[in-house]
Structure 1
Amino acid sequence: MVEKTTEDDQNQQASAGEKHKTEVETPDPKRAKVKSETPADNDNEEDKGEESNTRQTTEKGSQESKADAKSENGTAGKSKADTDKDAPASILEKGIIYFFIRGRVDVDKPEEVDDIARSYIILRPIGHDAKLSKPPLADAGNTRILVLPKKVLPSSGRDRFLAFIDKTGASYDEIKGQFLAGGDYETKTKGTRHTPAATPVGEGVYAITTTGRESHLAYILTIPQELGEVQKDLGLKEQGSFIISTKNPEYPAPASARLPKAPEYPKKMHEEFRELRWVPTRPHHLDYANSQILMIGESSGIKKALGVQDDDDGKANKEEPLEEMEKLEEQDLKRMQQLSGDDSASIYADLKAHAKDYPKLQTTF
């Protein structure tokens, strides 16, 4: 569940910048991927209250709302994608994804998951038709920071973890100065305390997809090329995905999951929720600070999220979303290899930061 906001969390702020440009470039052959499965982490009982049965609520609500309202693409009634659970996925958004952790106060180098205060996902969208080419990406001022109070990622359908949007429209300067950097602060009872800098644990490409009834966040890691102890303990995979649903702020959250402030959704967004507690997440839901996002693990990896189906012979049927993600990953691998230095330096260079000023990518505890 969402932990109580700490003094060091309150020091992280971000806002908007300018649009970026990308170029078309043919990628090098894709590197071989190593299959990796991470066992599900144990749930805390307190996380299962309002979050339980969310998938069923979302599916039922989606059907109810589409019966008498137009869908997002403006067509009335139910399409095949609305009624066929196994319909091919559609990509709503794609981009670069970064995974970071931050140690507890005065813990600069976590030695186990319990030493982590919070984990973070940074989403850097790119245009739907854009291709990744010359590094680093220009500053678009559209980066979002998603906070994971549970510290680890959900690995299976039994894992239902609530996250929230901490920053939207962040520029690289704001990410460097207000998110990545650590700092010291004074307290009346314990004197000077130290907030550690954020530490990278991975980078890759992502896509937010819809399969009609559900939305998914799928990713393919580019860095590190081989998962380390830290990545496995956090639930990171070479390829992974989650079902994602957005909470209706009109319904109160459990006391342990309440944020200091509700998201300031416009009227049109409130209308999307209707009477539902949860709706499938859409990219624009992530553009509002304090949006609460339920993440449900998918042990099948990215297959369901990207519309990969098994035919009668048991062979995987590749749909366009999977091919799009694979191409994007190839482009990202080539792009990151063009950035100087090791994996750490490449990640920081991509965010236009100097690696010497921040912790190295962590793969072992």
Structure 2
Amino acid sequence: MGQGEESKADPEAPVEIQERGEIFFFYRPKVGKEEAHGVEEVQRLYIVLRPESGERPVEEKQHHASGKEGAKKKKATKKKDGETSESSDSAASEGGHGSEKVNIEHQPLLRFIVMGRKSLPPPTQRGRPFWGYVEMVTTKIEDVKAALQGEEYDTSTRGRRHKPPARALGEGVYRILRHNPGRRMHTHLIYKLEFPREGESGDPQETFNIEREASFLIQIKNPEQPGSSQFRGLQSKRKATFPAHLQGQFGQRRFHPADPPDFLNYEGCEFLLIAASDDIEGELGVELRAEEGEPEPACSDLVKTFGETASIAPLLKGTWLEEMVVELPLFVNVHIY
């Protein structure tokens, strides 16, 4: 479906678009659960951001040898060479560090994000921060597919356990923008859904506070400052290590706007989302548009990219997982679980 379009309903609106792209939502039921019907039965809520353009076509990201991204490469190399080692598992538990450039207009860049409260901030609770962190940053779609898959594993106390695959929950377009209304500059993450289509049930989306469109203040946490009683955050070794020019922007402050969005290109980057509005145009003077006309399931980038990995009933019908048959032009009699 692409990154959509935006326009200023108010030409004088004090906003600047920093980054454009696609946003995908997923949830994973708890271990041993075949399906979830509420947050209490959910293990994780994931957000995947795929930037596609912005103020700068070239962004800075962690070095590909760091974090989970680097661990996957090392593990694949050792497996190919017939070696075994625990070093890749150790690297996977460390935050992103180092630096390299990626052209987001020509190369995939995917941020795999975990929301700590397993939901987005409700629009009725403005001012209440919700903590999240970047679990993985990668330029390989296969890495995200692997993270969404289920698995069987053995434990010493409970025997064999089943971790169910993730379920696709929503797809849309997003912007990260700079807002300077005369007070201190801050940044927003805004999005608008394409799927589920408007008019579908939307029960799972309502459970996770995923509105048709929403605006959040987004603040990046300083990894060199301690957590609080409300947000203890990640263990020190899992926190991001930003390059000096990014880290220097914090000074002694605990939080900084997501300016530039490159902060989010480091595994272990922690942030806060704070509900601002569910009316983007009314709040910021920006109209965010997805593709023209009624979106068709066969055009869904999430279905085309992750459809064989993540169950898509909640995405297409706005219902909790159930077996159904959907007629798609590109997929004949696809059974969706």
Counterpart-to-counterpart distance in 1, 2:38 and 2:280: 27
Residues 192-207 of structure 1 correspond to what in structure 2 (within 5 A)? 192-207=160-175
Counterpart-to-counterpart distance in 2, 1:163 and 1:268: 23
| Contact 1:144–1:170 (Cα < 8 Å) also in 2 | no
**Percent identity of the aligned residues?**
28
Q: Which residue of 1 aligns with 2:207?
A: 233
Quick one: structure 1 residues 100 and 338, their matched pair in 2 at CA, closer, same or farther if it must change by over 3 Å?
closer
Cα-to-partner distance string for 1:128-156 (whole Å, 9 max, x where unaligned): 389xxxxxx99833110110020111023
Quick one: structure 1 residues 359 and 300, their matched pair in 2 at CA, closer, same or farther if it must change by over 3 Å?
closer
Counterpart-to-counterpart distance in 1, 2:312 and 2:307: 11
Quick one: structure 1 residues 175 and 301, their matched pair in 2 at CA, closer, same or farther if it must change by over 3 Å?
same
Q: 1:191 aligns with which of 139, 144, 159?
A: 159
Q: Does 2:302 correspond to 1:330?
A: no
Residues 87-102 of structure 1 correspond to what in structure 2 (within 5 A)? 87-102=13-28
The offset of 1:87, in angstroms, is 5.0
| Contact 2:176–2:188 (Cα < 8 Å) also in 1 | yes
In structure 2, give the amino acid aligned to 1:339.
Answer: A
Q: Which residue of 2 aligns with 1:348?
A: 303
The offset of 1:300, in angstroms, is 4.3
The offset of 1:167, in angstroms, is 0.7
In structure 2, give the amino acid aligned to 1:149.
Answer: G
Q: Which residue of 1 aligns with 2:234?
A: 259
Q: Which runs of 5+ in 1 are unaligned?
A: 1-21, 28-85, 131-136, 309-321
Q: Which residue of 2 aligns with 1:151?
A: 118
Quick one: structure 1 residues 171 and 304, their matched pair in 2 at CA, closer, same or farther if it must change by over 3 Å?
farther
In structure 2, give the amino acid aligned to 1:233.
Answer: T
Q: Does 2:8 correspond to 1:115?
A: no
In structure 2, give the amino acid aligned to 1:267.
Answer: A
The offset of 1:354, in angstroms, is 4.6
Counterpart-to-counterpart distance in 2, 1:120 and 1:174: 14
Counterpart-to-counterpart distance in 2, 1:140 and 1:186: 38
Quick one: structure 1 residues 158 and 270, their matched pair in 2 at CA, closer, same or farther if it must change by over 3 Å?
closer
TM-score normalised over the length of structure 1: 0.63
The offset of 1:304, in angstroms, is 6.3
Q: Does 2:127 correspond to 1:166?
A: no
Quick one: structure 1 residues 257 and 185, their matched pair in 2 at CA, closer, same or farther if it must change by over 3 Å?
farther
CA-based RMSD of the aligned residues comes to 2.9
Cα-to-partner distance string for 1:254-273 (whole Å, 9 max, x where unaligned): 47633132201111111110
Cα-to-partner distance string for 1:24-52 (whole Å, 9 max, x where unaligned): x9x9xxxxxxxxxxxxxxxxxxxxxxxxx
Cα-to-partner distance string for 1:144-197 (whole Å, 9 max, x where unaligned): 011002011102314311100001124211111x21211011111111111111
| Contact 1:139–1:171 (Cα < 8 Å) also in 2 | no
The offset of 1:107, in angstroms, is 1.3
Q: Which residue of 2 aligns with 1:314?
A: none
In structure 2, give the amino acid aligned to 1:179.
Answer: A
Q: Secondary structure at the match of 2:296?
A: helix
Cα-to-partner distance string for 1:43-66 (whole Å, 9 max, x where unaligned): xxxxxxxxxxxxxxxxxxxxxxxx
Quick one: structure 1 residues 197 and 113, their matched pair in 2 at CA, closer, same or farther if it must change by over 3 Å?
same
Counterpart-to-counterpart distance in 1, 2:138 and 2:279: 29
Counterpart-to-counterpart distance in 1, 2:247 and 2:282: 29
Counterpart-to-counterpart distance in 1, 2:106 and 2:156: 39
Q: 1:126 aligns with which of 48, 52, 55?
A: 52
TM-score normalised over the length of structure 2: 0.68
Residues 18-167 of structure 1 correspond to what in structure 2 (within 5 A)? 87-128=13-54, 140-155=107-122, 156-167=125-136
Q: Secondary structure at the match of 1:184?
A: strand
| Contact 2:151–2:164 (Cα < 8 Å) also in 1 | yes
Q: Which residue of 1 aligns with 2:273?
A: 295
Runs of 4+ in 1 over 6 A off after TM superposition: none
Counterpart-to-counterpart distance in 2, 1:94 and 1:232: 25
Quick one: structure 1 residues 128 and 268, their matched pair in 2 at CA, closer, same or farther if it must change by over 3 Å?
closer
The offset of 1:111, in angstroms, is 1.6
Residues 210-221 of structure 1 correspond to what in structure 2 (within 5 A)? 210-212=178-180, 213-221=185-193
In structure 2, give the amino acid aligned to 1:115.
Answer: E
Q: Quick check: 291-300 or 272-281, which moved more?
A: 291-300
Q: Which residue of 1 aligns with 2:99?
A: none
| Contact 2:16–2:179 (Cα < 8 Å) also in 1 | yes
Q: Does 2:195 correspond to 1:223?
A: yes
Cα-to-partner distance string for 1:266-297 (whole Å, 9 max, x where unaligned): 11111110111111113101000011110001
Q: Secondary structure at the match of 2:249?
A: helix
The offset of 1:202, in angstroms, is 0.5
